[in-house]
Amino acid sequence: MQKRVLSAVILAGLAMPALARADDQKWLTPTMVNARAAMMTPELSVLTFQHMDSIFATRPVRAGDSVWAVPSEPRAIGEKFTLGEQSLSLDDFLEKTATNGLLVIHDGKIVNEIYRNGLDEKGHHISFSMAKSMLATMIGIAVSEGKIKSLDDRVVDYLPDWKSSAYADVSIRDLLMMRSGVAWLEVYEFGSDTQLTEVHNNSLVAYKYRWCDYAKDRAKTEHKPGEVFNYSTLDTSVLGCVLEKATGMKGADYLSEKIWKPAGMESDAFYMLDGPDTVGREFFGAGMNAALRDYGRFGLMMLDDGKANGRQVIPADWVKQSTVPDATTEPASKDDWLGYAYQWWTVPGSDAYAAIGLFNQFIYIDPPSRTVIVKLDSPADPLGFEKENIAFFEQIVKNLAN
Quick check: 391 and 82 in contact, CB under 8 A?
yes
Residue 52 DSSP label: G
- State the pLDDT at residue 15: 39
Cβ 375 vs Cβ 99: under 8 Å: yes
Q: Each residue of 167-186: b (16+ CB within 10 Å) or e?
A: bbbbbbbbbbbbbbbbebeb
pLDDT at 21: 64
CA pair distance 41, 366, nearest whole angstrom: 33
Give the pLDDT confidence score for residue 2 in this predicted structure: 27
The DSSP code sequence of 309-356 is TTEE-S-HHHHHHHH---TTTSSSSTT-SSEESSS-EE-TTSS-EEEE
Element (H, E) at 60: strand 58-61
Beta bridge partners of 307: 312
Q: Where are the domains of the chain?
A: 52-401
- Residue 24: what pLDDT? 87
For residue 395, the one-letter residue type is Q
How far from 368 is each of 23, 167, 351, 397, CA to CA, in Å?
51, 38, 7, 10
d(CA 355, CA 300): 13
Q: How far apart are CA 197 and CA 81, in angstroms?
A: 35
Those residues whose C-beta lies under 8 Å from the C-beta of residue 198, and which sit 6 or more positions away, are none
CA distance 60 to 51: 14
Cβ(157)–Cβ(170) under 8 Å? no
Angle, helix 130-144 to helix 316-323, in steps of 10 degrees? 140
The predicted structure's pLDDT at residue 22: 62
Peptide bond into 160 cis (omega under 30): no
At residue 192, the pLDDT reads: 72
pLDDT in tens, the chain (402 residues): 223 223 333 333 433 444 456 678 899 999 999 999 999 999 999 999 999 999 999 999 999 999 999 999 999 999 999 998 999 999 999 999 999 999 999 999 999 999 999 999 999 999 999 999 999 999 999 999 999 999 999 999 999 999 999 999 999 999 999 999 999 999 887 667 789 999 999 999 999 999 999 999 999 999 999 999 999 999 999 999 999 999 999 999 999 999 999 999 999 999 999 999 999 999 999 999 999 999 999 999 999 999 999 999 999 999 999 999 988 899 999 999 999 999 999 999 999 999 999 999 999 999 999 999 999 999 999 888 899 999 999 999 999 998
Give the CATH superfamily of 52-401: DD-peptidase/beta-lactamase superfamily (3.40.710.10)
Q: Which residue, among 325, 329, 305, has the nearest Cα to 317 in the 3D structure? A: 305
- Give residue 327's pLDDT: 85
Q: Are 25 and 277 in contact (CB under 8 A)?
A: no
β-bridge pairing 353-357 and 99-106: unpaired
The helix, strand and coil proportions of the chain, stated in percent and rounded to the nearest 5, come to 35, 15, 45
